[in-house]
Structure 1
Amino acid sequence: MRRGRVLVIGLDPVRIPGWDPEPVVAAIARGQARFDELGIDADLCLVAPDDNPEAAVAEALTGADYACVVVGGGIRKHEPLLGLFETLVNLVRRHAPGAAIAFNSTPDDTAEAALRWLP
């Protein structure tokens, strides 16, 4: 039996200049595989801060009925992105008011973050 659908919002590591995205890309893939192992449908919404992330997240939120939305640490922990983080949380409240909001520690534990809130 499949559980409620999850949306994972995070920074797109390929579109962030100045560092090697491969370790994060691999961790995201492991996180998505964990959702599959647990029988949870999970969609990714990876954004770049300078490329209208609000519109991408709003579109993702209205594209399906989500039981939980996980906001990744790249958005949440990086102080210059505090305003973006607040905006995204409010977009979740507006477009998916019934969804729980969860936070991961790393891309590898994203499914576990969602499980804290899924029935």
Structure 2
Amino acid sequence: MAVARVLVIGLDPAEIQGWDPEPVRAAMARGRARFDDLGIEADWCLVVLGKNPEGAIVAALTREDYACVVIGGGIRKHEPYLEFFEKVVNLVRQHSPHAAIAFNTSPEDCADAALRWLR
């Protein structure tokens, strides 16, 4: 049986002005560990707005065959990013049409978000 593969798309915390990236990086490390504990292969695509994020997302989506794509709250929850969020959803539909789309509440629960669709 093939191992499910998940792509997590989020903002690069080191590139967000006015944020301390360390708590987010620590939460991401715990999130990655959760994937490992569950035996799920996960790739992370951390984008920087203003530096061709769409291109980075398309490159990530076409690199592997993903069973699920998790779109992070940094993209989803911040109202000024609504148009970008729509683009991300449509890029997933276009370049990974068989992948489920899931949403997390924090970097730590990405695996749990994916599991809702991998079961």
SS at match of 1:66: coil
| 1:79 corresponding residue in structure 2 | 79
In the alignment, the residues of structure 1 paired with residue 111 and residue 59 of structure 2 have an alpha-carbon distance, to the nearest angstrom, of 22
In the alignment, the residues of structure 1 paired with residue 50 and residue 18 of structure 2 have an alpha-carbon distance, to the nearest angstrom, of 14
Query: Once the two structures are superposed, what CA deviation does each residue of 1:12-55 show, in whole Å capped at 9, x if it has no partner?
Result: 00111112110000000100010000000000000111111000
| 1:56 corresponding residue in structure 2 | 56
- Further displaced range: 70-79 or 10-19: 10-19
| 2:3 corresponding residue in structure 1 | 3
In the alignment, the residues of structure 1 paired with residue 2 and residue 15 of structure 2 have an alpha-carbon distance, to the nearest angstrom, of 32
- Provide the TM-score with structure 1 as the length reference: 0.97
In the alignment, the residues of structure 2 paired with residue 2 and residue 82 of structure 1 have an alpha-carbon distance, to the nearest angstrom, of 35
In the alignment, the residues of structure 2 paired with residue 32 and residue 62 of structure 1 have an alpha-carbon distance, to the nearest angstrom, of 21
Which has the larger helix fraction? 2
SS at match of 2:4: strand
The alignment-based identity, stated in percent, is 69
Aligned length: 119
| 1:102 corresponding residue in structure 2 | 102
In structure 1, list runs of 5 or more residues that go unmatched.
Answer: none
Contact 1:5 1:68 in 2 (8 A): yes
In the alignment, the residues of structure 2 paired with residue 43 and residue 55 of structure 1 have an alpha-carbon distance, to the nearest angstrom, of 16
Amino acid at match of 2:66: Y
Q: Quote how far apart the aligned CAs of 1:3 are.
A: 3.1
In the alignment, the residues of structure 2 paired with residue 28 and residue 110 of structure 1 have an alpha-carbon distance, to the nearest angstrom, of 9
In the alignment, the residues of structure 1 paired with residue 118 and residue 108 of structure 2 have an alpha-carbon distance, to the nearest angstrom, of 18
- Provide the TM-score with structure 2 as the length reference: 0.97
In structure 2, list runs of 5 or more residues that go unmatched.
Answer: none
In the alignment, the residues of structure 2 paired with residue 24 and residue 52 of structure 1 have an alpha-carbon distance, to the nearest angstrom, of 22
| 2:33 corresponding residue in structure 1 | 33
